[in-house]
């Protein structure tokens, strides 16, 4: 009886020990996974007192965290997106925390008229003598096919053409900053397409695909960056393209809408918690490019995880780079 009881006790101890060990291993693994998936934090420090920063899409996600970080460094930050009420609330929150001025203006990148109005308002009322940093961050992803009122496929206009026009409008004051920086938020998704036909941005000849259109718009961001670098580096306007990582933000709402709510709340949440970056960590590479100490040396580069990375072969095509600025 005693022997049997002892054996039972040992088995119980061993099995519960095994389960404890297993639980510990799983918890440790998840902890490691969560930390590893966050990527690198920007380790550069600089003050931005007296500097003017313009960020598109600064009311949520990566843009909001970028705005907060640069505001903490003392910059006056101007954010632009469609939902002005939300932007004003966020601007006030940031301003209350940092003590630096944050201005929220209306901007719809799907309308060239709105982009021009946004730029005019900045140039005439909010930017003083110069704009020091422009962060072309706003974006949409995998949306159903739609034409803007300017006649363009919506992802290419919001993610690239709208930013192209904004950059052009703000260039006179970027040129006055000496030095100024332009940070274009691209994506690893640029590697999902092998080329960008600037004569078929609406994909009428090639055929539309939600993923394809997004990939091409993100490839356009890098081509644009490289051509900006070629044309403006000697005038002390430096340009960078950024892949922020895979970040848990509202941008995935078009994918989430395809799944039932219970799935998003369970599997989706688990995936976000352990495999995706937080918005704060997703903003680190944009922040790094905005303040890293050697702007000229690294101008024209594509960054991921706060260091220079190699973009796709298509992004290095010099003819397409030139066309990305000329054929508009």
Ligand X SMILES: NC(=O)c1ccc[n+]([C@@H]2O[C@H](COP(=O)([O-])OP(=O)(O)OC[C@H]3O[C@@H](n4cnc5c(N)ncnc54)[C@H](OP(=O)(O)O)[C@@H]3O)[C@@H](O)[C@H]2O)c1
CA–CA distances in Å: residue 148 to residues 6, 33, 69, 105, 279: 77, 41, 33, 21, 28
Torsion of CA 168, 219, 154, 246, to 10 degrees: -110
Binding part of the chain for ligand X, among 39-47, 53-61, 224-232, 263-271 by CB under 6 A, reads: 53-61
Task: Please check whether residue 105 is in contact with residue 215, taking contact to mean a CB–CB distance below 8 angstroms.
Answer: no
Residue whose structure tokens are 């960020």 = 55
What DSSP line would sit under 163-208, residue for residue? Answer: HHHHHHHHHHHHHHHSSEEEEEE--GGGGG-S---TT-TT-TTT--
Question: Cβ 135 to ligand X, closest distance in Å?
Answer: 10
| Binding-site string for ligand X from residue 168 to residue 197, where x marks contact by CB under 6 A and - marks none | -----------------x-x----------
Q: Report the residue number, 68 or 251, with the smaller CB distance to ligand X.
A: 251
By CB under 6 A, the residues from 146 to 165 that bind ligand X are 158-159
Q: Kindly report each contact of residues 30-38 with a partner whose C-beta sits within 8 Å and lies 24 or more positions away, as own/partner.
A: 30/274, 33/274, 33/275, 34/273, 34/274, 37/246, 37/274, 37/275, 37/276, 37/277, 38/277, 38/278, 38/281
| Binding-site string for ligand X from residue 104 to residue 143, where x marks contact by CB under 6 A and - marks none | ---xxxx--------------------------xxxxx--
Q: Report the residue number, 127 or 184, with the smaller CB distance to ligand X.
A: 184
By CB under 6 A, the residues from 238 to 277 that bind ligand X are 243-244, 246-247, 249-251
Neighbours of 75 (CB within 10 A): 26
Question: Cβ 76 to ligand X, closest distance in Å?
Answer: 19
Task: Please check whether residue 163 is in contact with residue 140, taking contact to mean a CB–CB distance below 8 angstroms.
Answer: no
The catalytic site residues sit at 214
Is there binding between residue 311 and ligand X (CB under 6 A)? no
| Binding-site string for ligand X from residue 10 to residue 49, where x marks contact by CB under 6 A and - marks none | ----------------------------------------
Could you tell me which residues are beta bridge partners of residue 56?
Answer: 80
Q: Report the residue number, 61 or 311, with the smaller CB distance to ligand X.
A: 61
Task: Please check whether residue 114 is in contact with residue 108, taking contact to mean a CB–CB distance below 8 angstroms.
Answer: yes
Question: Cβ 231 to ligand X, closest distance in Å?
Answer: 22
Could you tell me which residues are beta bridge partners of residue 182?
Answer: 134, 239
Question: Cβ 282 to ligand X, closest distance in Å?
Answer: 6
Is there binding between residue 57 and ligand X (CB under 6 A)? yes
By CB under 6 A, the residues from 58 to 87 that bind ligand X are 59-63, 81-83, 86
Question: Cβ 77 to ligand X, closest distance in Å?
Answer: 13
HSE-up of residue 182 (Cα within 13 Å, Cβ side): 31
Question: Cβ 107 to ligand X, closest distance in Å?
Answer: 5
Query: Residue numbers of the site for ligand X (CB under 6 A)?
Result: 56-57, 59-63, 81-83, 86, 107-110, 137-141, 158-159, 185, 187, 243-244, 246-247, 249-251
């Amino acid at each position: 009886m005693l022997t049997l009881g002892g054996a039972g006790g040992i088995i119980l101890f061993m099995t519960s020990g095994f389960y404890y060990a297993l639980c510990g291993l799983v918890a440790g693994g998840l902890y490691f996974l969560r930390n590893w998936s966050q990527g690198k934090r920007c380790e550069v420090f600089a003050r931005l007192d007296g500097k003017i920063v313009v960020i598109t899409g600064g009311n949520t996600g990566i843009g909001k965290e970028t705005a907060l970080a640069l505001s903490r460094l003392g910059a006056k930050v101007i954010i632009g997106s469609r939902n002005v009420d939300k932007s004003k609330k966020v601007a006030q929150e940031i301003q209350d925390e940092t003590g630096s001025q944050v201005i929220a203006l209306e901007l719809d990148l799907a309308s060239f008229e709105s982009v021009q109005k946004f730029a005019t308002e900045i140039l005439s009322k909010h930017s003083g003598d110069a704009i020091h940093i422009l962060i072309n961050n706003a974006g949409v992803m995998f949306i159903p096919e739609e034409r803007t009122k300017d006649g363009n496929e919506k992802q290419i206009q919001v993610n690239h053409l709208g930013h192209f026009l904004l950059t052009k409008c703000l260039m006179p004051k970027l040129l006055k900053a000496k030095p100024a920086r332009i940070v274009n938020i691209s994506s690893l998704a640029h590697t999902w397409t092998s080329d960008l036909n600037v004569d078929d941005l609406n994909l009428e000849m090639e055929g539309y695909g939600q993923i394809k259109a997004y990939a091409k718009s993100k490839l356009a961001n890098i081509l644009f960056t490289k051509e900006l670098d070629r044309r403006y580096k000697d005038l002390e306007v430096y340009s960078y393209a950024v892949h922020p990582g895979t970040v848990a933000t509202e941008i995935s709402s078009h994918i989430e809408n395809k799944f039932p709510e219970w799935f998003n709340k369970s599997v989706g949440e688990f995936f976000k918690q352990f495999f995706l970056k937080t918005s704060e960590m997703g903003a680190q590479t944009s922040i790094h490019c905005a303040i890293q100490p050697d702007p000229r040396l690294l101008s024209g580069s594509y960054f991921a995880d706060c260091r220079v990375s190699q973009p796709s072969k298509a992004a290095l095509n010099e003819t397409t780079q030139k066309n990305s600025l000329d054929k508009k």
